[in-house]
Chain A
Amino acid sequence: MKRRDFLRVTATAGAGLTLPGGVRTALEAVENTRFRHPDLAVVKGESPAKITRAAVDALGGMKRFISRGDIVVVKPNIGWDRTPEQGANTNPEVVAALVRMCFEAGAKTVKVFDRPCNDPRRCYVQSGIAEAARAQGADVSFINDRKFKDTAIHGEILSSWPLYRDVLEADKIINVPIAKHHGLAGLTLSLKNWMGVMGGRRGRIHQRIDTCLVDLALVLKPTLTVLDAVRILTGNGPQGGSLKDVKRLDTVVAGTDQVAIDAFGATFFGMKGRDLGFVREGARRGIGTMELSKLAISRIGA
């Protein structure tokens, strides 16, 4: 919360307390509309680092999400042995920009990791993420199988699952997925990115992927989500490989509601949020909202 916002809120609240109930509520409503942060910030521009910073700033800046001394996990998609140009992993510059902003906001440690599908060493290097994030001071590590902890989820299908300890123990988690086509789920966006911290035979959840992804969202609640659409993979996902399937959008979407972000991400592919099972399911179960018309969306450069 910025100093200006704080003064405004305290002044309003102070004034409100002296007023009769009805007037107070009305005033609060006015304040809320005037100074509310947008639900989504959609920023387009040539530099992935700059648009990432602009998107987070539009939401109120990283200090809104990260406090001094926080241990932060930034979770990109590093699932595949692919280069950034192939659009199968999160853009390294987007990840690096977030790491940098976390440190600027006072984070003590920023951890970056993913449980890839291909050889982790290849994925970490070829994606460019390990190098870019390390350059900003991130603690980039490979998944250590000994650090999965059986975690109660109490979902509709998943009652419990081994999840990565570093995620569970972090003060804040930031989700940085890439927007991609996915053969089974339709698209892979922010909700599906959390499969990267699942241990065990996570492929099992593909049987009922939509419900399971929403189950996961019950325990994995990111402080901030930044969807990378600098390059999107329009077909042959999630692995891709052919540059013909890659479309350059030079866009990122930031927000705190994963369902809303995924609903917005669907529009990049000519779809609507309700076309995706996990978005529908997430909205139905109250994880977030998929009605873009109800959201305050700040568009910059688009």
Chain B
Amino acid sequence: MRHARRLSQAFFLLLFLFLFIETAAKGADTLGYPVKLFLDFDPLLFLATLLSTHTLVKAFWLSLIVLAATAVLGRMFCGWICPLGTLNHMVGLLRKRTSRPRTPDWYRVKYVLLIFLLVSSLFTMQLAGLFDPLSLLIRSLSLGVYPAVNHGFYATFDALYQIDSSSIASIVDGGYKFLHRTVLAFEQPYFYQGAFITLLFLGILALNLVEPRCASGVGVALRPSQAVRAGRLHRLPPVRALLPRGGTALRSRGLASHRVPLLLELRGDLPREGRPVPLILEKISERGGSRAPTGSGRRCRRGGGAHDFPARPGLQAQDPEPKADPSARCSQGTGFSGRLREMRGMHEGLHH
């Protein structure tokens, strides 16, 4: 499944880049490729356009497919398709796997932002393009990254063409013609504020080194802390063991042991090899891992409040170093009930 998702991510990223390159005019009156395909599938733009113009733009009807898929499969778009999500994941893989600084819960900002964007759209101020992940990526690539890449190539060719040797000249000329025909811009593009937009974009990507995130980290983004945790959960076959007694609907064996990891993965969470497992397991492992009396629990060491959480018989702890995850919920004073809410939230998300 992980390979399938990575293949899917690679495919859509390459498709996105191909369409991006094909956006360049070639002299004919039409471009020849559906270059705005990704934007057509963008529900945020669909909604914002609908609210601000009071019209149903036909092209955007495609985004209903994404909405439908999200209702069934969760945030499939983020984890399987979104090119910015893929880039985020790639950068996230570079992250040092030691410790994560404790971060305040900034992630609710995205809901405020979403509401703001939609409400402002309703009053005809359409700002979705500023934050929409696809718009952000297209803007950053076309105004910043692509000109920079071109500059690198063209500067190299400037130097190579200075070499006064006919044998080299033919190779250089051939290479230039090929690249010019395929990936390079027809002429070196420059844009005012291109450097600023590039830095902003690199900054967004670099945030993955601090904490992995999906999409642009706002709006439709998957909650990063969830992503991390869910990614870890995925590695643990007996997911049902994590669920509290009488907890949620996820308790049923089918959902818990099979569909939940599947769905979590569909949501775009990169499983991480060798990452610490969630605190909930750490606690269980501290209790010996094999048999613990039902209903008893351990006190969260760092949290303000005392929270009991249950241990389950037969659970094998998989983390040799339980203290490696300082961002555990209990440190924020929410403890297990916080996690429980989160689990419920994820579960509810499946059916939205």
Task: From A1-9, A62-70, A142-150, A275-283, give the one contacting chain B.
Answer: A142-150
Residue ranges of B at the interface with A (Cβ–Cβ < 8 Å) = 25-28, 157-158, 161, 173, 176-177, 180, 186
Nearest A-chain residue to B24, judged by Cβ: A121
Q: Are B176 and A124 in contact (CB under 8 A)?
A: no
A119 in contact (CB, < 8 A): yes
A146 and B161 form a contact (CB under 8 A) = yes
| Contact of A157 with B by CB under 8 A | no
Docked Cα-Cα span, A89 to B177, in Å, equals 24
Whether A126 touches B27, Cβ cut-off 8 Å, given contacts A121-B186, A141-B177, is yes
Residue ID in chain A nearest B186 by CB atoms: A121
Residue of B with least CB distance to A122: B27
* Residues A124 and B161 in contact, CB atoms below 8 Å apart: no
Q: In the assembled complex, which residues on chain A have CB atoms less than 8 Å from the CB atom of B180?
A: 142, 144
- Known interface pairs A122-B25, A146-B161; 9 further A-B residue pairs with C-beta atoms within 8 A, sorted by A's residue number: A119-B25, A120-B27, A121-B186, A124-B27, A125-B26, A125-B27, A126-B27, A144-B180, A147-B173
Q: Which residues of B contact A146 (CB under 8 A)?
A: 157-158, 161, 176
Could you list some 26 contacts between A and B, CB below 8 A? A119-B25, A119-B27, A120-B27, A120-B186, A121-B25, A121-B26, A121-B27, A121-B186, A122-B25, A122-B27, A124-B27, A125-B26, A125-B27, A125-B28, A126-B27, A130-B27, A141-B177, A142-B180, A142-B186, A144-B173, A144-B180, A146-B157, A146-B158, A146-B161, A146-B176, A147-B161
Q: How far is the CA of A120 from the CA of B180 in the complex (A)?
A: 13
Give the residue of A119, A125, A126, A144 whose beta carbon is less than 8 angstroms from that of B176.
A144
Q: List the 7 closest A-B pairs by CB distance, nearest first.
A: A125-B27, A121-B27, A146-B161, A122-B27, A125-B28, A121-B26, A124-B27
Question: Interface size on A (CB < 8 Å)?
Answer: 14
Binding site of A, secondary structure by majority: helix, strand, loop or mixed? helix
Which chain A residues in 123-148 approach chain B with CB under 8 Å?
Answer: 123-126, 130, 141-142, 144, 146-147
Task: Name the B residues within 8 Å of A119 (CB-CB).
Answer: 25, 27
Q: How far is the CA of A122 from the CA of B186 in the complex (A)?
A: 12
Give the shortest distance, in Å, between B115 (CB) and chain A (any CB).
44
Q: How far is the CA of A282 from the CA of B304 in the complex (A)?
A: 97
B contact residues around A122 at 8 Å (CB): 25, 27
- Binary B-proximity of A5-33 (CB < 8 A = 1, otherwise 0): 00000000000000000000000000000
Closest partner residue, chain B, to A147 (CB atom): B161
- Chain A residues within 8 Å of B27, by CB: 119-126, 130
Smallest CB gap from B158: residue in A: A146
Taking CB atoms, residues of chain B closer than 8 Å to A142 are 180, 186
Bound Cα distance A144, B27 (Å): 17
Q: Which residues of A contact B26 (CB under 8 A)?
A: 121, 125
Bound Cα distance A176, B180 (Å) = 26
Residues of chain B within 8 A (CB-CB) of A130 are: 27
Residues from chain B with Cβ under 8 Å of A120 in the complex: 27, 186
Instruction: Quote the shortest CB–CB distance from A130 to chain B (angstroms).
Output: 8
Shortest Cβ distance from residue A85 to the other chain B in the assembled complex, whole angstroms: 15
Q: Which residues of B contact A123 (CB under 8 A)?
A: 27
User: Which chain B positions have C-beta within 8 A of A126?
Assistant: 27
